Amino acid sequence: MIKRCPQHGFFRGENCTCGSSGQVLLDETKTEQLGRLVAGGLRHFPGDLGLEMDSRGWVDLTKLGDVVKSRHRWAGKELVVALVTSDPKQRYEISGDRVRARYGHSVDVQLDHAANTLPLLFYGASEEEADRILEIGLKPASQRYVHLSTTPEKAWHVATFRTGNPRVIQAAAAAAQEEGVEMMTVNEDIVISETIPAKFLSILAAKDIPKPKDEQ
Ligand SMILES: [Zn+2]
C-alpha cells in the first residue's frame, strides 16, 4: 500500500514518520501489480515494453508513465514516482525526467554508482554453492552483477530464504578492487560487483556470524 502524507509526501505502511495516517493512493494489490511492471521495465525486459534504456540503465520517466498507463488505466507517471520514492528497499532512483533501477538487472547495463569503500563484503550461500564458489569464484548467474551484503548477518539472513543452513563467504573487497574488480555501493545493505576471483574469497566460521536477535 502506498499513502501520501500532506507534509512529507509518499510513504509505505500505516503511518508517515510524523505520525500522520495520510491518504491511500494505491492499495496492496495495485502496488504489487505496478511494482512488477516497473521492475520488468527497469530490470528485465525494457524492450518488450517499448522502453529505451541507455547503457547506465536510465529510462525516460514520462515514457514509463505512459507504458504503465497503457497496461493499467489507473496507473501513470505520478504513481510511478510514488512507487519509486516510497520503495523501502531503495530499488530505484530518479534523476530529472529519468528513472532507473539501482540494482537487480538481468539486462546488460554498466552502472556508475560510487565505488564501494568497505574493506570486506559478504555473500550467503548453501553449503554446496559455497564449496563451488570457493573453487571457481563468485560470478553473476541470472543477474548482471553479483549482489553482496555489507555485513555477515545480512548475508546470512538473505541466504535463509534459499537454504536452511546458510554459509557466509567473506570477500576481501578492498584487495579485489585494487586488482581491478569493480564494486559499487547500492545502498546501506547491498554492494554490487563484477566477478570476484576465488583468491579473494574465504568461508566465515559460524561463530563469526552474529545472528539477528529474532533468529536465535
Ligand atoms: Zn508526514
User: Percent of the chain scored above 70 by pLDDT?
Assistant: 97
Distance 33 CA to ligand 1 centre (A): 25
- How many angstroms is it from 87 CA to the middle of ligand 1? 16
Can you tell me the distance from the alpha carbon of 193 to that of 188, in angstroms, rounded to the nearest whole number? 15
- Mean pLDDT score, 74-87: 96
pLDDT band for 206, please (50, 70, 90 cuts).
confident
What residues have a C-beta under 5 A from ligand 1, the ion? 5, 7-8, 16, 18, 20
Domains detected in the chain = 2-101 (1.10.10.970), 120-215 (3.20.170.30)
Give 175 Cα–ligand 1 centroid separation in angstroms.
43
What is the distance in A from the centroid of ligand 1 to the CA of 26? 17
Tens digits of per-residue pLDDT, 20-64?
999 999 999 999 999 999 999 999 999 999 999 999 999 999 999
- Ligand 1 center to 188 CA (angstroms): 23
Residues 142-160 have a mean pLDDT of 95
- Full-prediction pTM beyond 0.85? yes
Determine the average pLDDT of the residues in 77-103.
Answer: 95
> Is the separation of the CB atoms in 157 and 198 below 8 Å?
no
Q: In this model, does residue 212 exceed pLDDT 70?
A: no
Rounded distance from Cα 65 to ligand 1 centre (Å): 25
**Mean per-residue pLDDT over the chain, rounded:** 94
Alpha carbon of 211 to ligand 1 centroid (Å): 33
Q: Ligand 1 mean position to 22 CA, how many Å?
A: 7
Q: Which residues of 121-154 are buried (b: 16+ CB within 10 A; e: fewer)?
A: bbbbbeeebbeebbeebbeeeeebbbbbbbbbbb
Q: Give the pLDDT band (50/70/90) at residue 214.
A: low
Residue 216: is its pLDDT beyond 60? Answer: no
Q: Which residue, among 169, 65, 177, 59, has the nearest Cα to 107 in the 3D structure? A: 59
Q: For residues 92 and 81, is the Cβ–Cβ distance under 8 A?
A: no
Rounded distance from Cα 86 to ligand 1 centre (Å) = 12
Neighbours of 32 (CB within 10 A): 12
| 156-173: average pLDDT | 93
Q: How confident is the model at residue 208 (pLDDT cuts 50, 70, 90)?
A: confident
Report the distance separating Cα 46 and Cα 106, nearest Å.
11
CA torsion sign for 74, 75, 77, 78 is positive
With cut-offs at 50, 70 and 90, classify the pLDDT of residue 186. very high
